[in-house]
Chains A and B, each alone.
Chain A
Amino acid sequence: MLTNADLQALEGNAGDFTAKIRQRPRYIDADACTACGLCTQYCPRHHVDPYNEGLSVTRPIHIDYAQAVPATYYIDPSSCLHLQHDTCQICVPVCQSHAIDFSQKPKEIELNVGAVILAPGFGRIDQSTLAKFGYGSHPDVVTSFEFERMTTASGPFMGEVKCFSDGRHPKRIAFIQCVGSRDLGCDNGYCSSVCCMYAIKEAMVAKEHDPEVDITIYYMDIRTQGKEFDKAQQRAEAMGIKFVRAKVGDITPWQNRLQLTYSTLEGGHEFEPFDLVVLSVGFESPRDARGIADITGIELNHYNFAKSETFQPLATNRDGVIVAGAFQGPKDIPESVTQASAAAGIAAGLLEKQRGQGIIHKDYPEEKTDTDEPRIGVFVCHCGINISSVVDVHQVEDSVADMEGVVYHTDSLYSCSQDAVETLKKTIIAHNLNRVVIAACSPRTHEPLFQETLKDAGLNPCLVEMVNIRDQCSWVHAGEPDAATDKSQDLVRMAVAKARKLKPLPAQTVPVTSRALIVGGGIAGMVVALTMAEQGFESVLLEKEKTLGGNLGLLNHTLSSSETAGYLKKLVARVKKNRKIDVLTSAEIVQTSGFIGNFSSVVATTVGKKQEEHTIDHGVVILATGGHEHRPDGYLLGKNSRVLTQQELEKRLAGRAKNRAPDSVVMIQCAGSRGDDLNYCSKVCCNHAVKNALKIKEINPDSQVIVLYRDMRTYGYAEDAYREARLKGVVFIPYELENKPEVYEKGRRLHVKFFDSLLQEEVDLTPDLLALSVGIVPDGTEELSKLLKAPLTDDKFFLEAHVKLRPVELPVDGVYVCGLAHGPKPVDETIAQAQAAAAKAAIPLVKGSVSVDPIVSSVDEKTCIGCGLCVSLCPFSAIEMIKVEKKRKARTIAASCKACGICASHCPTFAISMGGFTNEQINAQIEAFGRATKKETAEV
């Protein structure tokens, strides 16, 4: 990882690039820095904290935030007294691990790489745009970024929302949407895609802090098109957050408040006073986009983001240079994470031949056999002064002296420093220790390091127990040294009690069948198969229909006017030709068993009247089962020949019929969606409507096209097409769910009656055609959900393992999802998601085995009565029932187990134990906790 680094030049071609990199000095030796933070406390100079949007000050020597990677401090040369004025250097002697190094110079680095991924993120909207809304001239106009830091519990105000002008708590807050987005005034014609959702989130957080606060969001269209996003808006409305469709014209000071002037659809001008105004600022292209483009030779689009096209959403014009994240186009976290995985997968394909090279395997000494007699060593860490300035480390250390089993104890300045770790290893060997207790910081960050040390010393890694006397003691009880020392002693005693009961646990690995099963042969499934094949992996591609292609075959072109048929034809040909892909059409999955790395599925195929069953062994399964258009009631769809869906309209427009684009067309958005029949937004319909409207205008410029909509959700660059449609005379009229358009027949005419919010009156039209934007429903997810025990959302789409951070994985290990089965989405997003699913699914196949943390559950067959309670409770399908000598017994599937212990806590016969968290160990800790209590009571 090279941080503080800039790409200077990129030469060569895909597979063989030379990247010239310049790494700026950090002035801190990253290997020596323990991130204790002492330097920041001593540094005398203030430095405006950019991480907190300038709302607080830090010091030139600092770390951006607690979770920053690497967890190493750095010196900002722009304000450091030594680097600016050659004075100070107070930090140098303060740092007890001698990590500060002012002699560091910029480093020129040359790297030979096969692929380059560009992920520079997004830039900020220019101040001049914000100034139009009073930002900079009135302190109580803040950006959403500032508001986010303000509402964050760990932020500069500890979550307290206040007005900058006088520090009062605001009673009324306004959010203004589309600041710097959808605004040709600042050359940002695109929609930033994320601001509606984050404004809703920030508003809800503010409301949680202060339920009395009155919040209004002023918007043009609420664009919560993402999966489950509409539900967030519904929750916000239920909390009392108001949404007003209006354009804010002016913000002026009024007494000690701010007055908003806005105009509504009906044409009225309204005034409203607020205490705090939050500008929902959009995404700008990265500030150095032009420079990146010049260095890497990639093209930018007309908004200075990386240029890409629908069918290769992450490819740039330079082979081997891949783009991901907001630089590819404004997007939210799940989309960015998806693209990141996809980019990694594409790069892995390019590097396939080099895979595994350059890996150095570490050798460990043979593990000593465990003896029952515990020989415990206790190591108490000072962590510089982080612990020892509060906790009396020596007293804690002395307290263990006469504890049963403790044969060695010592203290250490920094237990995690390289020399201390080496000393630890030598001590373990010299004193023949077989259990180690380390009282220092959090096992969440440092346990792996000490486990590694134990392995180096020939001990099983599970024989170490950590006590957190820093993060959860000295840092949080800074003013109570005696109580903190007491607490530390108790915690150490509890850990020693547990350590006596620690057992060596064998590392478990499970071999993986190197084959993927892909369910669904639409564009998502095909892209998965090809991406896996590029990485060298076989797959079986199942398609329930007779031919591959899925929904893409029903489209004619995409919004960015990429023609679909040619692409689809090529894609199908590539899939069929690829020797690593085995295609089964008219095929359906009947049965699946097994777990990650070792699935076995039965697939039924039909050829003519002949039915066949195939058993397929596979290591992973990717669900790309797709979806289809919803057919809503109440709009005469299928009853009147003038009513058709957008998909049907697209087909008609692509045909040759003379009257295919008649003079009068009405479109109804959200027909059957967003609280109508379906309670979600299908994301693609607004784009689809705009696309068809433009096509109609292209064929018949005189045609009157009226689009009735709830919110036009032409997010991202699709906003361009929406604007073009309006310029070409397509009329867009909003309607409310409570007052939706009425469709009826009278004589031979088709009528659409609706309330025109612009004219403020009822309008009745008799269009030649009525196109319905009907939304998308998933195909066959319920059956698969049962087969794979993979959960669904309320709307019957597969529920991902983590909505933001693991968007293509399901909670069941080894099962991945992409395309419409995950949620409605357009072609480019489907492709990126399929590439991401392939990249994720390839990970266990590349490794060749699944390694299992030894903390998983295990069932004692003798005690197990075979009741099956654990099987029904396990959220990960990680316990199965087996027959042992004709008796039912539970057995853990180690590869699927997540070590939650629900099974163990519910087992009526205590037959289930958790590695590293056994009943015996936890009970020993509780008893050790009790000893202090009793001692205290005795004293009283």
Chain B
Amino acid sequence: MSDEFNPRILGFLCNWCCYAAADAAGVSRFQYPPNLRTIRVMCTGRVDPSFILRGFIEGADGIFTGG
């Protein structure tokens, strides 16, 4: 394995904006690093602070919320 830092990022994506934008990025074939694992929510209002803490407990190097 390379020594390069390869962060694991957990993302919470709003169905209506950020998730849709991520789809659109795909349709447009924009390329971005494959470090993100996403969870779709119906609104980032759904993101309980405990989800973020739990993400870190589970080893996430960063949490991304898009909404």
Interface residues in chain A, defined as those with a beta carbon under 8 Å from any beta carbon in chain B: 66, 153-154, 442-445, 468, 470-473, 475-480, 483-484, 486-487, 490-491, 494, 855, 898-902, 904-905, 914, 917, 919, 922-923, 925-927, 929-930, 932-934, 936-937, 939-940
Which of A471, A905, A917, A939 meets B23, CB within 8 Å? A471
How far is the CB of A717 from the nearest CB of chain B, in Å?
A: 38
Residue on B nearest A931 in the bound complex, by CB: B58
Contact A922 B39 (CB under 8 A): yes
How far is the CB of B4 from the nearest CB of chain A, in Å?
A: 12
Please, could you name 9 A-B residue pairs with CB atoms under 8 Å apart, sorted by A?
A: A154-B27, A468-B38, A478-B29, A494-B39, A899-B42, A904-B48, A930-B60, A933-B58, A940-B1
Residues of A within 8 A of B60 (CB): 929-930, 933
Total number of residue pairs linking A and B with CB closer than 8 Å:
127
Chain B 10-44 interface residues, beta-carbon cutoff 8 Å to A: 10, 15, 19-20, 22-32, 34, 36-43
Residue on A nearest B49 in the bound complex, by CB: A905
Residues of A within 8 A of B58 (CB): 926-927, 929-930, 933-934
Residues of B within 8 A of A898 (CB): 42-43
Contact A914 B42 (CB under 8 A): yes
Any chain A CB within 8 A of the CB of B64? no
Q: Give me the 6 closest cross-chain CB pairs, A-B, nearest first.
A: A930-B58, A901-B46, A471-B26, A933-B59, A900-B43, A902-B45
Question: Other CB < 8 Å A-B pairs besides A442-B23, A929-B39, 13 of them?
Answer: A445-B23, A476-B26, A476-B32, A484-B34, A486-B34, A487-B34, A899-B42, A899-B43, A901-B42, A901-B46, A902-B45, A905-B45, A932-B37
Residue on A nearest B53 in the bound complex, by CB: A926
Residues of A within 8 A of B23 (CB): 442, 444-445, 468, 471-472
Q: Given A490-B37, A929-B58, A919 and B48 touching (CB < 8 A)?
A: yes
Contact B31 A478 (CB under 8 A): yes
How far is the CB of B62 from the nearest CB of chain A, in Å?
A: 12
How far is the CB of B52 from the nearest CB of chain A, in Å?
A: 9
Provide the main secondary structure of the chain A interface: helix
Bound-state Cα–Cα, A901 to B10, Å: 19
How far is the CB of A490 from the nearest CB of chain B, in Å?
A: 5
Interface residues in chain B, defined as those with a beta carbon under 8 Å from any beta carbon in chain A: 1, 8, 10, 15, 19-20, 22-32, 34, 36-43, 45-49, 51, 54-55, 57-60
Contact A905 B46 (CB under 8 A): yes
How far is the CB of A146 from the nearest CB of chain B, in Å?
A: 19
Residues of A within 8 A of B47 (CB): 905
Bound-state Cα–Cα, A478 to B29, Å: 8
Residue on A nearest B22 in the bound complex, by CB: A472
Contact B54 A66 (CB under 8 A): no
Bound-state Cα–Cα, A904 to B57, Å: 21
Bound-state Cα–Cα, A483 to B1, Å: 13
Which of A471, A487, A902 meets B22, CB within 8 Å? A471
Q: Given A444-B20, A490-B37, A491-B37, A476 and B29 touching (CB < 8 A)?
A: yes
Residues of B within 8 A of A855 (CB): 42
Bound-state Cα–Cα, A637 to B21, Å: 53
Bound-state Cα–Cα, A214 to B41, Å: 41
How far is the CB of B49 from the nearest CB of chain A, in Å?
A: 8
Which of B8, B31, B36 meets A933, CB within 8 Å? B8
Bound-state Cα–Cα, A905 to B47, Å: 6
Which of B10, B27, B55, B59 meets A934, CB within 8 Å? B59
Contact A477 B22 (CB under 8 A): no
Residues of B within 8 A of A940 (CB): 1
Bound-state Cα–Cα, A905 to B34, Å: 28
How far is the CB of B23 from the nearest CB of chain A, in Å?
A: 4
Residue on B nearest A154 in the bound complex, by CB: B28
Bound-state Cα–Cα, A834 to B40, Å: 38
Bound-state Cα–Cα, A444 to B26, Å: 13
Bound-state Cα–Cα, A939 to B37, Å: 20
Bound-state Cα–Cα, A442 to B41, Å: 13
Contact B26 A470 (CB under 8 A): yes
Bound-state Cα–Cα, A472 to B66, Å: 14
Which of B8, B10, B24, B42 meets A917, CB within 8 Å? B42
How far is the CB of B67 from the nearest CB of chain A, in Å?
A: 9
Q: Given A472-B22, A472-B23, A901 and B45 touching (CB < 8 A)?
A: yes
Residues of A within 8 A of B19 (CB): 442, 444
Residues of B within 8 A of A936 (CB): 8
Contact B34 A66 (CB under 8 A): no
Residues of B within 8 A of A478 (CB): 29, 31
Bound-state Cα–Cα, A426 to B24, Å: 33
Residues of B within 8 A of A153 (CB): 28
Which of A486, A490, A923, A932 meets B54, CB within 8 Å? A923
Residue on B nearest A902 in the bound complex, by CB: B45
Contact B28 A901 (CB under 8 A): no
Of A66, A486, A926, most buried by chain B (CB within 10 Å of CB) is A926
Residue on B nearest A874 in the bound complex, by CB: B45
Q: Given A472-B38, A480-B34, A929-B55, A66 and B28 touching (CB < 8 A)?
A: yes
Bound-state Cα–Cα, A783 to B58, Å: 50
Contact A494 B20 (CB under 8 A): no
Contact B24 A154 (CB under 8 A): yes
Bound-state Cα–Cα, A932 to B24, Å: 27
Residue on A nearest B34 in the bound complex, by CB: A483
Residues of A within 8 A of B46 (CB): 900-902, 904-905, 914, 917, 922
Of B37, B48, B49, most buried by chain A (CB within 10 Å of CB) is B37
Residues of A within 8 A of B26 (CB): 442, 470-472, 475-476
Residue on B nearest A482 in the bound complex, by CB: B34
Contact A922 B38 (CB under 8 A): no
Which of A154, A479, A899, A932 meets B31, CB within 8 Å? A479
Which of A901, A926, A934 meets B43, CB within 8 Å? A901
How far is the CB of A384 from the nearest CB of chain B, in Å?
A: 15
Contact A929 B37 (CB under 8 A): yes
Residues of B within 8 A of A923 (CB): 51, 54
Bound-state Cα–Cα, A493 to B44, Å: 22
Of A479, A905, A919, A939, most buried by chain B (CB within 10 Å of CB) is A905
Contact B34 A477 (CB under 8 A): yes
Residues of A within 8 A of B57 (CB): 930
Residues of A within 8 A of B36 (CB): 487
Residues of A within 8 A of B32 (CB): 476-477
Bound-state Cα–Cα, A472 to B51, Å: 22
Residues of A within 8 A of B15 (CB): 444
Residues of A within 8 A of B24 (CB): 66, 154
Bound-state Cα–Cα, A936 to B47, Å: 26
Bound-state Cα–Cα, A483 to B35, Å: 8
Residues of A within 8 A of B34 (CB): 473, 476-477, 480, 483-484, 486-487
Residues of A within 8 A of B41 (CB): 901, 917, 922
Bound-state Cα–Cα, A186 to B48, Å: 60
Q: Given A475-B27, A480-B34, A905-B47, A926 and B20 touching (CB < 8 A)?
A: no
Bound-state Cα–Cα, A475 to B32, Å: 10
Of A476, A855, A917, A930, most buried by chain B (CB within 10 Å of CB) is A476
Bound-state Cα–Cα, A66 to B21, Å: 12
How far is the CB of A392 from the nearest CB of chain B, in Å?
A: 14
Contact A929 B10 (CB under 8 A): yes
Residue on A nearest B63 in the bound complex, by CB: A926
Bound-state Cα–Cα, A939 to B1, Å: 10
Residue on A nearest B57 in the bound complex, by CB: A930
Residues of A within 8 A of B38 (CB): 468, 472, 491
Bound-state Cα–Cα, A936 to B37, Å: 15
Which of B1, B31, B39, B59 meets A477, CB within 8 Å? B31
Residues of B within 8 A of A66 (CB): 24, 27-28
Of A483, A919, A925, most buried by chain B (CB within 10 Å of CB) is A925
